[in-house]
Amino acid sequence: ADFDAKKKRKVAEIYRALNSDPVDVAVLRRMAISEGGLLTDEIRCKVWPKLLSVNTDDLPPLPGKELREDSKDYQQVLLDVRRSLRRFPPGMPDDQREGLQEELIDIILHVLKRNPQLHYYQGYHDIVVTFLLVVGGRLATALVEKLSTHHLRDFMDPTMDNTKHILNYLMPIIDQVNPEVHGFMKSAEVGTIFALSWLITWFGHVLSDFRHVVRLYDFFLACHPLMPIYFAAVIVLHREQEVLDCECDMASVHHLLSQIPQDLPYESLISKAGDLFVQFPPSKLTKEAAQAERTAASTFKDFELASVQQRPDTVLRQRFRERLRGEERPRGEERTKSILTKPRTNRFVKLAVMGLTVALGAAALAVVKSALEWAPKFELQIFP
């Protein structure tokens, strides 16, 4: 009864935010992050476009099949989509599934055709199918295009040069929380390749329960684009004892970590990922990630063999350039540091005034704030 009452209150709050003028996106972000996420696909159809700043009154027509003839990616997309049977609900009639797979191909080719700067990578279809199943083909096309030119933009570069860069944030996060696990993983020389498919599919490829996938999508859509790497870190930290009990060699640790458990305590891990983002924002980890990159030559062949194409979030590149400029001009570094830390201090002051605990939502609100700081860039064509 208590659960039902909480759910009803949350639904009411979501619809109040949707019906306000203008739409209260900050509340929608908080609802997407907080326990249970957005609750139903019906609500997701209304809220996901708001989180991505997509105008649902001006949706593109459904893509047609004419793109298949002249697309260099068609054969690869076709192969990947044919292998995606398990991404559809069990028991779905074959003809319905086959129809959705055809739509999936057309959506992917449509986005690539309209955005020639984007390059398809294996795993991209795992993200697109999630949107197709939740919101339908026409809305999925618009949402995926916005997502591909923003959150996923850097995964869709022709090279994998920055793949290492985003994954190199994983170990510094782990080190901040649990130096013992970090040291063990370093000794095993396991690298971060085990988390590659998690990151580039937003965990859609590795989780078997669709409810868990869409819950994570609620979370990621409401947050800073780098949140998936924080969530990857909390999964590793959650498995601390398993990791430390493992044989300390690359093959054993890689095998253990790449087999992601399906019974994870998702709500708890989401809360912890939000906490870690507040405590250790990307700006604090840039130096460690850059150092890891310089010593990660041994894993580069692994990335080449993985055959994926991605670039990490543009925010990382911007901050890396800021850091390099700061090293040349110490005063600039101090100025950058004050800019990065000041809002966080204000954030905690506001949270303290509101009387919220970190575990019950303060971190979520801080994450919302960071997402809102980033989100207005949607309207500015600042991405390459």
Please report the domains of the chain, with CATH numbers, ordered by start residue: 1-153 (1.10.8.1310), 160-308 (1.10.472.80)
**Angle at the Cα of 219 from the Cα atoms of 213 and 223, rounded to 5 degrees:** 140
Q: Supply the DSSP string of 104-125, one letter for each residue.
A: HHHHHHHHHHH-TT----TTHH
Burial of 78 (0-12, 13-18, 19+ CB in 10 A): middle
- Residue 298 φ/ψ, nearest 5 degrees: -65, -25
- Taking CA atoms, 147 is separated from 60, 130, 152, 190, 293, in Å, by 15, 13, 6, 31, 27
- Distance, in Å, from the CA atom of 370 to the CA atom of 201, rounded to the nearest integer, reads 22
Q: Residue type for 122, please?
A: Q
Sequential pLDDT tens for the chain (384 residues): 788 899 999 999 999 999 999 999 999 999 999 999 999 999 999 999 999 999 999 887 877 778 898 899 999 999 999 988 899 998 999 999 999 999 999 999 999 999 999 999 989 999 999 999 999 999 999 999 999 999 888 888 887 766 677 888 999 999 999 999 999 999 999 999 999 999 999 999 999 999 999 999 999 999 998 899 999 999 999 999 999 999 999 999 999 999 999 999 999 999 999 999 999 999 888 888 877 766 543 344 443 444 333 333 344 444 445 555 555 544 444 433 333 333 333 433 333 333 333 333 455 555 555 555 544 343 332 222
Is residue 237 within 8 A of residue 283, CB to CB? The reply is no
- What single-letter DSSP state applies at residue 206? T
